[in-house]
């Protein structure tokens, strides 16, 4: 396929969303790393200058991604997966430690983060495995292999330590659901999460009573013809209560104080104002400052380069994980809702694109892309606006960082290439 054909068939709407997000992202990185002394935006000693360079590099990588044969990605997905796993393993020997996490290779001019490559590779490998004619996700064995593809990189990344990045891989479970994994698993996971949160907030007794009430309500409203699965329901109830008890045990005996503090901050468990103040100064400092920064923006924001908390560096890591708080302070509710809207539109557009694929591999990969972008977007903004606990992962296309930007760009544009190629007959 020639280059002009790709340009005709590529989904320009997605490209537009991508460019908007990257552009807005850079403006905010500029604002949060800007200081009065330097003026040129091409100053590569400054973080915003570097990011500009990475944006250029990403544009180049887009050309490369689009220029390669579409079939290349399916054919080489297994090899890519293996290479990236080796790179992750290699970190244990050759890794460079930044901010306590051994997640980088030092390539001189920049630091490469192999977990970003692993995200692309795992999404590809998952697509390859599930699209195989032999694979039947309804079978236990195939479910197991599906999980394994996710688990290997996650297990390699956790000890870096980078639990945030590891968590991202679990988002690929959504792909399994799309491809036929029974929703029962999702139900179990949701229930477990609910029980976990409810136990911390209200205690085991209330959880038990609540569940029993729900089941009673369910029995009352049931249709006469419906045969009640008494035994499974009871099993679920007992399992939930046991789980709830174990949550209490784990929370109090296995978790460290800092973990407990994070949860008590997140779930607003702490009512003592003195301890709350203490948490705000230590574990909750970032969240507190970023919430305050966003709040102080109001509806219209303080204006470009006018964010006082941004200028005063009140929010640590503001140009990376907390970049959204700059949007909040300087552009206000107007800015933040536009960014949220852009992400929502981009993701919905990708769902639409994935669903229109004739080819299983393309569709599954598309879902992989969506899952990975979604979890980043959800956890990052959720954390910055204080509705999720602190988990350090970047905001796609937005946060400062070369590997991240390159990784997300390649991840997205491989899918756009596959989409542009969907009408072609190929192997």
Partner 1 sequence: MKKILLSSIIILIGITFIGRLSYLQIFSFSPDQVLEDSAIKALYDYPERGYIYDRNGKLLVGNDPAYDVMVIPREVKPLDTLEFCNLLGINKDRFIQLLRKARIYSPRLPSVLVPQLSKEDYAMLQEKMRKYEGFYIQKRSLRYYDTEAAANVLGYIREVNERDLKRNPYYVQGELTGGTGVEQQYEEILRGRKGVQYIQKDRFNRDIGPYKGGILDTLPEQGKEISLTLDKDLQEYGELLMHGKRGGIVAIEPSSGEILAMISGPTYDPALLVGRQRSKNYSKLHYDTISKPLFDRSISAEGSPGSPFKALNALVALQEGAILPSTTFRCYNGFYVGKTKRGCHCGGGIRNLNSGIYKSCNAYFAGTFRKIYEKFPTTDEGQDVWEKHMKSFGLGNFLGYDLPTGRPGRIPGKEYYDKWYGDNRWSSSYIISNSIGQGEVAATPVQLANMTAAIANRGYYFTPHILKKVEGEDISIPEYVQPKYTTIDKKHFEPVVKGMADVYKKGTARWVQIPGIEIAGKTGTVENYTKIDSVRTQLTDHSVFIAFAPVDNPKIALAVYIENGYYGSRYAGHIASLLIEKYLKGEITRKDLEKRMLEKTLEHEYAKPYSGEEFKINEYVW
Q: Which is nearer to partner 1, 62 or 181 (CB)?
A: 181
Query: Which segment (113-121, 124-132, 347-355, 402-410) binds partner 1 by CB under 8 A?
Result: 347-355
Residue closer to partner 1, measured from CB, 154 or 370: 370
Q: How far is the CB of 408 from partner 1 (least distance, A)?
A: 17
Identify the residue among 46, 113, 160, 336 touching partner 1 (CB under 8 A). 336
By the rule CB under 8 A, 277 interacts with partner 1: no
Kindly state whether residue 296 participates in binding partner 1, applying the rule CB under 8 A.
yes
Name which of residues 115 to 174 contact partner 1 (CB under 8 A): 174
Q: Does 15 bind partner 1 (CB under 8 A)?
A: no
Supply the minimum distance, in Å, between the C-beta of residue 322 and partner 1: 13
Question: Which region, judged by CB under 8 A, interacts with partner 1, from 50-58, 221-229, 252-260, 329-337?
Answer: 329-337
What tokens were used for 241?
């209560």
Q: Which of 20, 236, 374, 391 binds partner 1 (CB under 8 A)?
A: 374
Provide φ and ψ at 96, rounded to 5°: -105, 135
Instruction: Check residue 408 for interaction with partner 1 (CB under 8 A).
Output: no
- Report which of 248, 246, 243 is spatially closest to residue 211, judged by C-alpha positions: 243
Hey, which residues between 301 and 320 contact partner 1 (CB under 8 A)?
A: 306, 308-309, 311-314
Indicate whether 97 belongs to the interface with partner 1 (CB under 8 A).
Answer: no
Specify which residues 102 forms β-bridges with. 97
Residue 360 binds to partner 1 (criterion: CB under 8 A): no
Stretch that binds partner 1, among 206-214, 232-240, 260-268, 294-302 (CB under 8 A): 294-302
Our CB check for partner 1 shows the closer of 152 and 381 to be 381
In the set 367, 400, 408, 415, which binds partner 1 (CB under 8 A)?
367
Q: Which of residues 34-63 bind partner 1 (CB under 8 A)?
A: 35-36
189 binds partner 1 (CB under 8 A): no
> Is position 272 an interface residue for partner 1 (rule: CB under 8 A)?
no
Chain residues binding partner 1 by CB under 8 A are 35-36, 174, 177-178, 180, 183, 289, 291, 294-299, 306, 308-309, 311-314, 328, 332-333, 336-337, 340-341, 343-344, 347-348, 351, 355, 367, 370-371, 374, 377-378, 381-382, 385-387
């Amino acid at each position: 396929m020639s280059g002009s054909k790709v340009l005709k068939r590529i989904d320009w709407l997605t490209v537009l969303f991508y460019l908007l997000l990257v552009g807005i992202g850079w403006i905010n990185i500029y604002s949060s790393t800007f200081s009065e002394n330097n003026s040129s935006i091409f100053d590569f000693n400054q973080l915003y200058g570097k990011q500009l360079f990475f944006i250029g590099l990403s544009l180049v990588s887009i050309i490369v991604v689009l220029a390669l044969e579409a079939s290349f990605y399916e054919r080489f997905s297994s090899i890519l997966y293996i290479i990236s796993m080796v790179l992750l393993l290699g970190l244990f020997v050759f890794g460079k430690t930044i901010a306590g996490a051994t997640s980088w290779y030092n390539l001189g001019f920049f630091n490469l983060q192999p977990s970003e490559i692993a995200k692309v590779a795992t999404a590809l490998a998952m697509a390859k495995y599930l699209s195989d004619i032999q694979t039947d996700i309804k079978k236990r064995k195939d479910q197991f292999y599906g999980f394994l593809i996710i688990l290997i990189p996650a297990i390699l990344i956790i000890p870096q330590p980078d639990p945030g990045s590891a968590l991202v891989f679990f988002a690929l479970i959504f792909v399994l659901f799309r491809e036929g994994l029974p929703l029962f698993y999702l139900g179990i996971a949701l229930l477990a999460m609910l029980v976990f949160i409810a136990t911390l907030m209200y205690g085991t007794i209330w959880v038990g009573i609540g569940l029993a009430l729900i089941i009673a309500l369910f029995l009352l409203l049931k249709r006469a013809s419906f045969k009640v699965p008494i035994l499974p329901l009871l099993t679920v109830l007992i399992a939930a209560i046991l789980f709830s008890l174990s949550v209490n045990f784990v929370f109090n005996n296995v978790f460290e104080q800092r973990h407990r503090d994070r949860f008590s901050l997140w779930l607003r468990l702490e009512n003592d104002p003195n301890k709350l103040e203490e948490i705000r100064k230590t574990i909750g400092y970032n969240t507190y400052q970023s919430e305050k920064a966003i709040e102080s923006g109001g509806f219209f924001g303080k204006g470009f380069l006018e964010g006082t908390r941004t200028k005063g560096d009140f929010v640590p890591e503001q140009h990376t994980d907390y970049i959204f708080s700059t949007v909040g302070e300087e552009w206000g509710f107007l800015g933040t809702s536009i960014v949220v809207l852009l992400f929502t539109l981009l993701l919905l557009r990708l769902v639409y694109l994935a669903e229109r694929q004739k080819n299983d591999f393309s569709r599954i990969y598309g879902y992989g892309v969506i899952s990975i972008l979604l979890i980043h977007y959800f956890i990052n903004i959720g954390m910055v606006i204080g509705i999720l606990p602190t988990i350090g992962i970047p905001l796609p296309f937005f946060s400062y960082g070369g590997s991240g930007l390159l990784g997300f760009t390649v991840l997205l544009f491989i899918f756009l290439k596959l989409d542009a190629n969907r009408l072609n007959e190929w192997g």
